Amino acid sequence: SVCAEAYNPDDDEDEDFEPRVVHSKSDEQRRRLQDACRDILLFKTLDQEQFSEVLDGMFQVLVKPQEHIINQGEDGDNFYVIERGVYDVIVLIDGVGKCVGTYDNKGSFGELALMYNTPRSATIMATQEGALWGLDRVTFHRLIVKNNANKRKMYEAFIECVPLLKALELSERMKIVDVVGMRAFKDEECIITQGEKADCFYIVESGQVKIMIVSKTKAGQLDNAEVEIARCSRGQYFGELALVTNKPRAASVYAVGDTKCLVIDIQAFERLLGSCKEIMKRNISQYENQLVALFGSSVDLKH
């Protein structure tokens, strides 16, 4: 198939009749697997039955320090979910391997070669002992790639009207749809906590969020009350600041009413939204002016 071509699930109905792969697991293993998979974005748009088939199909892989789980340029065999361990993402740049990112005890990798039938785009190396859960390419295709056709139908129109993404090519926007997760939040539910480490980025699909900060006074006293500084609604994004600046979350974010957000993980953010970073940076430079307008110059931020 052609890279990034919309997948047509009717092309290979036969796959549905292939025997389902089940790797048996102890209760304890299944519990650890479920924990590892809880926040995997690619699984967030599966229904219960599809998700439990994914869990059935996964198998444990134990790795040693320096072990290459994936080598750039090779064909794709499995998709991996991290149970524990630290993994470097290494990309050849002018013939030299350069570490461009790290997975720290969570996340997943190896979806690209399986989704687009392309060679592995990076090398993934364990820097310490670790444990992974693998999913073979046939099962990945049957459950995840097929679901992507539905995802494109569901989110294409929405993604098309997100102002931030206007600068991207259509094919780039569709690649975002392929890897996004959808998360629903209840009224007042906390989406981001100020001061925490960041690993993803959000776009509001429905409902609203409010951005709140804990500030300190000029005297350096912490005023622990949270103050609302902004709201975001459909089509607007938040959670970019920590990713762009490499700092902890600058504010907390809460749902206002029932709210749904598209979620993009940090690796996909780096890979697919790099060309939108200039727009984000320009908007970030406005934050400070807004801050002064809101509180005067006598208040600054905790972080």
Q: Which residues would be at the binding site for ligand 1OR (CB under 6 A)?
A: 70, 76, 89, 91, 100-101, 109-113, 120-122, 124, 192, 198, 211, 229-230, 238-242, 249-251, 253, 267, 270-271, 287, 290-291, 294, 301
CB nearer to ligand 1OR: give 30 or 91. 91
Nearest approach, Cβ of 120 to ligand 1OR (angstroms)?
Answer: 4
Please report, as a single letter, which amino acid is at residue 268. Answer: A
CB nearer to ligand 1OR: give 4 or 91. 91
Nearest approach, Cβ of 125 to ligand 1OR (angstroms)?
Answer: 11
Please report, as a single letter, which amino acid is at residue 107. Answer: G
Please identify which residue in the block is written with the tokens 């430079």.
Answer: 285
Q: How many CA within 13 A on the CB side of residue 275?
A: 9
Please report, as a single letter, which amino acid is at residue 150. Answer: N
Nearest approach, Cβ of 302 to ligand 1OR (angstroms)?
Answer: 10
Nearest approach, Cβ of 121 to ligand 1OR (angstroms)?
Answer: 3
Is the distance from CB of 236 to CB of 204 less than 8 angstroms?
yes
CB nearer to ligand 1OR: give 33 or 211. 211
Nearest approach, Cβ of 45 to ligand 1OR (angstroms)?
Answer: 17
Helix (H) or strand (E) holding 302: none
SS (H, E, C) 103-145: EECCCEECHHHHHHCCCCCCEEEECCCEEEEEEEHHHHHHHHH
CB nearer to ligand 1OR: give 134 or 239. 239
CB nearer to ligand 1OR: give 30 or 295. 295
Q: What is the CA radius of gyration of the chain?
A: 21
